[in-house]
Structure 1
Amino acid sequence: MEKNIVSAMLFLIIPLLMRPVLASGDPVYTFCNPESRNYALSSPFENNLNLLLESLPSNTSVKGFYNNSTGEDPDEVYGQALCRGDVNSTVCRDCIKNASQEILKQCKTEDATIWFKLCQVRYSGQNFSSFMVYFGMYPDQNNLEKNLSINPVRFDKVLTYLIDNISSEAAFDPSKRMFATGEIKFSREKTIYGLVQCTWDISESSCYSCLVQALGDLHACCDSRQGGIIVTANCNVRFQLYQFYNASSVFLTYPSSKGPKLKIWMVVVIACIPISIIAVLVGSCAVYHGRNKRTQRGDGVAITQNGELVSAEELSFMDLLTIVAATDNFSESNKLGKGGFGTVYKGVLPDGKEVAVKRLSRKSWQGLEELKNEVILIAKLQHRNLVKLLGCGIEGEEKLLIYEFMPNRSLDFFIFDSKKRTELDWKTCYNVIVGIARGLLYLHEDSRLKIIHRDLKPNNVLLDHEMVAKISDFGMARIFGENQYSANTQRVVGTYGYMAPEYAMEGLFSVKSDVFSFGVILLEIISGKKNSGFYLTEHAQTLLAYAWRLWNEGKELEFVDPLLMESCQTTEVLKCMHIGLLCVQEDPADRPTISSVLTLLGNESTSLPHPKQPLFVVARVIQTNHIPTTNPSVNHLTISGLSPR
C-alpha cells in the first residue's frame, strides 16, 4: 500500500520537476546560414530583426505557432516561431524569449534558425515559402552510445513503424495540429518513445514528406542508439528509450511475425473453403447465444484461428432481438444501401451508440463465406483508415455483421452526385486519397496478415464525421503468405470498372491489383466521372482511355472537375492524375506499390516516371450472386464479356 502511494506521488511530482529543466538549457542546434550575408550593426535590417524577435514570445504563446514579417523591402525580415505541442503557454513564451535572445548572440547572418528542446525560432531576409528546401541537422546529442544488447535490424523496423504511424497522424489528422507522440514496445524491457512535429505554414503532404525525409536522416545517424533527434526548418523527429514528453501518446504494437503454423493455415484458406472454421464460428455463436442470453458480451468464446481466439472482448456476439430492436426491425427508413451479399441498415444500440448492420443474404452460401471472411480477417485489424468491425450475430438463417457507423456514408455518394460533390474541396479529396492509400498500406505491408482486398471501389470507401476515409467490405478479401506475392482463382468476383485486367481475364490477383483499383478511384475523384459505364459518353470508351488521351495531348486540366479547380493547386492535382495513370498501367510490374504511391504523394520534388498506356480491353465479370437462382446449376458460373478497345 505504501509503495503504491509513493509511486503515485512520484508520478505526479516528476513531470512538475522536469518542466523547468526542459524549458531552460542550451540550444539543441543553431544554424547560421553560411550562404547568406552578414547584416551590418545598427542597420535597418538589424532594427527590423530586433522588433520582429521581440514580438515572437507573446504572439507564439497564444497558439503555439506564429509567423510574421517586419519592415519593407529590401530590409524586410521574415520570422517564425514554433513551440512543442505538449507545452503550456508560459513555458512556450519563456522558451521563445530565450531562443530569440540566443539567436542574436550566436548569429549575425541574414538567415538563421535555432532549436531548443521545446521550441524553435527562425528568421530570414527572404520569404520562407520562396525557398522551401529540406535540410536535416544532426545535433551533438545524437552521439549516444549504441545499445549493443538489441537486434539492430528489428530495432530499425520497429522504430520505422512507430515514426511512420505518428507522422501520418501528425500530417493528416487536423485535430493533431501537426504534432504527435507515440510509444511502442521493442521488447519486454524496452519501449521506444517517439515525437514528430511540423510547422503550421506547410501543407499536409509537405509535412508528411518532411517527416519521411527526417526519418531517413534519423536512421543514418542514430540506428540502434539510445535516442536521436533530427531538426529541420519545417519538421522535427525524435525518439528515446524513455518518455521525454508530457503529452498522452498513441500506444502501438508492432505486427508480429508469422510462424510456420500460420503460413500453413493461410495456404489452406486460399486453396479451399474452410468448412471447419465456418462450423466453429457458427457453433461458437450458437453456444454463446444459448449460454449467455442475459448479456450482449460474453467472457470467453470465439473463433479459433490456429490456437488464437477472437475473444468476446475484441468482438461482441449480439443476439438477434437486440439487433432487430436497434434497426427497427430492419425498416426501410434505416436502410443505408445494398451490396452483392446483403443490405446495410443503420442501428442504435441500447446504450445509444450508432452502428451499421450488414444483413447478409439469408440463404446464400456466399453470405456465410463472407461472414467468415469478415470476422477472421478484420476482427483484430485496427487502423484509422479501416472500418472497425464491432460484432456479429447468427441465429437460424440470419447472418449479421455490426460495424462502426459512418455518418457521411460512402465516397461514391459524394463524387458521383452533382449536389453532394459541391461539398468537396481539393483538400478534402486529397485527404481521402491519402487515407485510402494508408489503409491499403496497412493491409499490404503493415498488418500481421498480408491482405488483398479484391473489391476496392468508391462505395467500399466510407467517410466518418470528419470525412476521414475508411476501407470497408472485406467479404472478398484474401490472405497471402509472408513471402507470397500473387495467387490465381477460377472464381473471379468483383466489380466491373475497378478490376485489374490480369484479374478480370486470368483470375490472377496480387497487391498490384488493389493498386489498379486505387488508381481508378483516384482518377474518378479528380474527374468526378465514373469509370464503369463511361463508354456511354462521347469522350472515350473508358475513363482510363479519356485520361490517357488528354495526358498525351497536354490537355490534363480538361480532365479535372471544374469544381475542384476552384480550390486546388494545379501542380498537386496534376501530380495525382499522373500517379493515377501509373497505377492503372497494364503490366502489374509497372505499377508502383502502395508504399511508393504514398511516397510520391508526399514528396513534392520527386520526378515521376512516364506512365505506359492502360489496357482498354477489360473483361466484364458478373458476380454469380446477382444471377437469378431459378436454375441451381448457375450458382458457380462466371459470365464474362469484352468491351472494345
Structure 2
Amino acid sequence: MIIPIVLQLLIILGNGMAMVAAQPWHTCGASNYTADSMYRLNLDGMSASLFPEGAGGSGGGIFVRGSSGADPDKVYAVALCRGDVDDAPACSSCFDAAFRRAMQLCPRSKDATIYYDECLLRFSDTDILNMDSVRRLNTSEIVHGALVLMNLTSEPMLPGRSTATANFTGFLKTMLTDVVGQVLSTRRHYAAIRMEMDDGSSSSTTAVPREFYCLAQCAPDLIEDICYSCLTNFSDRPVASFPGRQGWRVLGLWCNLRYSLPPSVSY
C-alpha cells in the first residue's frame, strides 16, 4: 500500500493497519476493546508502571518492555528511544507522550504503534516481547508493520547526469554497510555516521562535495544476526525501489534506519 503526501511518501510493509503520514506517524490495529473492559484496565496499569521502571532500568532508560494482566486480556508493550537521546527523563517523557498520543489517535485499539523522531512505542494484545529465534529470523516478522518514508522531490539526488544516480547508489550502499557494521559493534546497537562524496563531475571547479548523514539502530536486546537481518532488509528496499531520493527513513519496532542531507542528530 502506497500513500503519497506533501513532501513525503509513506509506505507500510506487511500490515493491514490504518495509518497517517504526519509526525507522529502511527498505525492502528483493527481489534478494539471497550471502555470498561479488563484490557483497558491492564492498559492503564501498563502506562502507570512501564515508564517509571524504564527511567531507571537497563540500557540507560532508552529501551523498556513489559506486560500487564493475564490472557486473554494481557497487554504487551515495547518502547525505544533514539540512540543519541540517552537522557532517561527525556526518554520517559517521550514514551509518555507517545502513549497518550496512541490513545488519542487509535482510540480503543488493542494494537497501536507511534513513531516520534526521538522515540517509538507499541502496545498490543499480541506477544511482541518474546518471539522465538525462528520467528525473529523470519523476514516477514521483522518487517511487519514497518513504515517507509521518502522525500517526494521529483529531482534525483544528483540531477543532470545519467551516471550520477548510479554513482550515488553505490556510495549509499557503502554508507549503509558501514553504519550497519558500526551498529553491530556497539552494546547499544546504535550508530550515526557522516560521509562525503563528490557529485560525479569531471571538473574540479564544478564538483560539489556533499555530506550525507546516516543513522541506524536496533533494539538493544536483539542478537547480532537478527539485528543485521533487520537492518539489511530495510536498507535494500529503498535503495532498490527509490534511487536518488534526498532522504528516507524506515521505521520498525525492532530496528530503524534513516539517511538525509541535513543532520537530524549529533554525529
Shared topology, TM-score over 0.5?
yes
The aligned residue for residue 119 of structure 1 is 119
The aligned residue for residue 41 of structure 1 is 35
The aligned residue for residue 219 of structure 1 is 239
Shift of 1:48: 0.8
- Which amino acid in 2 is paired with 1:212? T
> SS of the residue aligned with 1:228?
strand
Structure 2 CA distance, aligned partners of 1:60 and 1:96?
9
Point out the structure with the larger strand share: 2
The aligned residue for residue 50 of structure 2 is 56
> SS of the residue aligned with 2:258?
strand
Shift of 1:121: 0.4
Out of 195, 201, 215, the residue aligned to residue 184 of structure 1 is 195
When Rg is computed on C-alpha atoms for both structures, the one with the higher figure is 1
CA distance 1:48–1:27, shift in 2 (3 Å):
farther
Shift of 1:90: 3.2
> SS of the residue aligned with 1:200?
coil
180-189 or 63-72, which moves further after superposition? 180-189
Instruction: Encode CA deviations 1:549-573: one digit per residue, 9 max, x unaligned.
Output: xxxxxxxxxxxxxxxxxxxxxxxxx
The aligned residue for residue 243 of structure 1 is 263
Structure 1 CA distance, aligned partners of 2:241 and 2:98?
25
Q: Is the 8 A contact 1:80 1:122 kept in 2?
A: yes
Residue 110 (structure 2) pairs with residue 104 (structure 1): no
Q: Is the 8 A contact 1:53 1:79 kept in 2?
A: no
Instruction: Encode CA deviations 1:596-635: one digit per residue, 9 max, x unaligned.
Output: xxxxxxxxxxxxxxxxxxxxxxxxxxxxxxxxxxxxxxxx
The aligned residue for residue 31 of structure 1 is 27
CA distance 1:223–1:61, shift in 2 (3 Å):
farther
> SS of the residue aligned with 2:120?
strand
Shift of 1:221: 5.3
Shift of 1:180: 0.6
Q: Is the 8 A contact 1:56 1:97 kept in 2?
A: no
Residue 70 (structure 2) pairs with residue 72 (structure 1): yes
Shift of 1:216: 1.6
> SS of the residue aligned with 1:209?
helix
The aligned residue for residue 209 of structure 1 is 229
Figure out how many residues of one structure are paired with residues of the other and give that number: 217
Structure 1 CA distance, aligned partners of 2:65 and 2:174?
32
For 1:497-512, list aligned pairs within 5 A.
none
- Which amino acid in 2 is paired with 1:74? P
Structure 1 CA distance, aligned partners of 2:84 and 2:157?
32
CA distance 1:142–1:48, shift in 2 (3 Å):
farther
Q: Is the 8 A contact 1:56 1:81 kept in 2?
A: no
Q: Is the 8 A contact 2:51 2:64 kept in 1?
A: no
For 1:322-337, list aligned pairs within 5 A.
none
The aligned residue for residue 175 of structure 2 is 162
CA distance 1:89–1:146, shift in 2 (3 Å):
farther
Structure 1 CA distance, aligned partners of 2:256 and 2:55?
19
The aligned residue for residue 5 of structure 2 is none
Structure 1 CA distance, aligned partners of 2:241 and 2:253?
18
Q: Is the 8 A contact 2:214 2:258 kept in 1?
A: yes
- Which amino acid in 1 is paired with 2:197? F
Structure 1 CA distance, aligned partners of 2:95 and 2:78?
10
Q: Is the 8 A contact 1:222 1:228 kept in 2?
A: no
Unmatched 5+ stretches in structure 1: 1-25, 249-645
Structure 2 CA distance, aligned partners of 1:220 and 1:196?
18
Q: Is the 8 A contact 2:42 2:74 kept in 1?
A: yes
The aligned residue for residue 142 of structure 2 is 134
Point out the structure with the larger helix share: 1
For 1:383-394, list aligned pairs within 5 A.
none
> SS of the residue aligned with 1:101?
helix
Instruction: Encode CA deviations 1:153-190: one digit per residue, 9 max, x unaligned.
Output: 1111111111111112212x144x11111111122431
Q: Is the 8 A contact 2:157 2:246 kept in 1?
A: no
Structure 2 CA distance, aligned partners of 1:40 and 1:200?
34
Shift of 1:80: 0.8
- Which amino acid in 2 is paired with 1:181? A
Structure 1 CA distance, aligned partners of 2:52 and 2:153?
35
> SS of the residue aligned with 1:85?
coil
The aligned residue for residue 86 of structure 1 is 84
Q: Is the 8 A contact 1:227 1:238 kept in 2?
A: yes
- Which amino acid in 1 is paired with 2:47? L
Structure 1 CA distance, aligned partners of 2:117 and 2:250?
11
The aligned residue for residue 94 of structure 2 is 95
Unmatched 5+ stretches in structure 2: 1-21, 199-207
- Which amino acid in 1 is paired with 2:124? S
> SS of the residue aligned with 2:158?
coil
For 1:536-615, list aligned pairs within 5 A.
none
- Which amino acid in 1 is paired with 2:249? I
> SS of the residue aligned with 1:74?
coil
Shift of 1:114: 1.1
The percent of aligned pairs where both chains have the same amino acid is 27
CA distance 1:28–1:186, shift in 2 (3 Å):
farther
TM-score scaled to structure 1, two decimals?
0.32
Structure 1 CA distance, aligned partners of 2:89 and 2:65?
19
The aligned residue for residue 158 of structure 2 is 149
Shift of 1:222: 4.1
- Which amino acid in 1 is paired with 2:218? C
Structure 1 CA distance, aligned partners of 2:111 and 2:28?
6
Residue 216 (structure 2) pairs with residue 196 (structure 1): yes
CA distance 1:32–1:221, shift in 2 (3 Å):
farther
TM-score scaled to structure 2, two decimals?
0.74
Shift of 1:143: 2.7
> SS of the residue aligned with 2:147?
coil
**Which structure's relative contact order is higher, taking Cα pairs within 8 Å and 6+ residues apart?**
2
Instruction: Encode CA deviations 1:479-534: one digit per residue, 9 max, x unaligned.
Output: xxxxxxxxxxxxxxxxxxxxxxxxxxxxxxxxxxxxxxxxxxxxxxxxxxxxxxxx
